């Protein structure tokens, strides 16, 4: 969690390490920045922390996250951070009769020297087909 000098909550990131073999990776579960602290590079700093932990502590191959297909602002931000769309997950977000696809976005870490973890899949997958 990031706090201001006055101890106001500015934002937070939650993540985990998961997978097996070359699918061992860091996963961004949630990233949130309070509206009054946006456009200050706080999201980038929080993502850098998670990426560094995934790399240095867990020796992961990549970091991934899921984002709504319609969330162009977040997709643009993650792209600026070096993430690319690995695959589309059909109907990942669902509830109250609506569903929306997600993009699984990934960023290779130094352990993945050939960047195999970010080669895009050609076909979408369903949530039940996800490895983790």
pLDDT at 27: 98
Cα–Cα distance, 125 to 132 (Å, whole number):
13
The per-residue pLDDT for range 89-108, each reduced to its tens digit, is 999 998 777 899 999 999 99
Q: Kindly tell me if the per-residue pLDDT of 5 is higher than 80.
A: no
Instruction: Please choose, from the candidates 57, 53, 51, 61, the residue with its C-alpha nearest in 3D space to the C-alpha of residue 21.
Output: 61
Q: Is 53 exposed, middle or buried (0-12, 13-18, 19+ CB in 10 A)?
A: middle
pLDDT grade for 131, boundaries at 50, 70 and 90: confident
pLDDT grade for 46, boundaries at 50, 70 and 90: very high
Phi, psi dihedrals of residue 81, rounded to the nearest 5°: -80, 0
The per-residue pLDDT for range 60-86, each reduced to its tens digit, is 999 999 999 999 999 999 999 999 999
What is the pTM for the complete model shown?
Answer: 0.91
Q: Kindly tell me if the per-residue pLDDT of 119 is higher than 90.
A: yes
């Amino acid at each position: 969690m990031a706090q201001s000098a006055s101890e106001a909550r500015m934002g937070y990131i939650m993540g985990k390490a998961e997978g097996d073999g070359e699918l061992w990776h860091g996963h961004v579960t949630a990233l949130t920045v309070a509206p009054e602290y946006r456009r200050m590079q706080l999201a980038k700093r929080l993502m850098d922390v998670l990426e560094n932990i995934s790399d240095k502590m867990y020796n992961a191959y990549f970091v991934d996250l899921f984002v709504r297909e319609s969330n162009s602002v977040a997709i643009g931000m993650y792209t600026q951070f070096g993430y690319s769309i690995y695959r589309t997950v059909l109907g990942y977000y669902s509830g109250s009769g609506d569903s929306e696809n997600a993009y699984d976005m990934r960023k290779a870490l130094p352990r993945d020297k050939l960047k195999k973890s970010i080669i895009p899949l050609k076909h979408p997958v369903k949530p039940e087909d996800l490895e983790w």
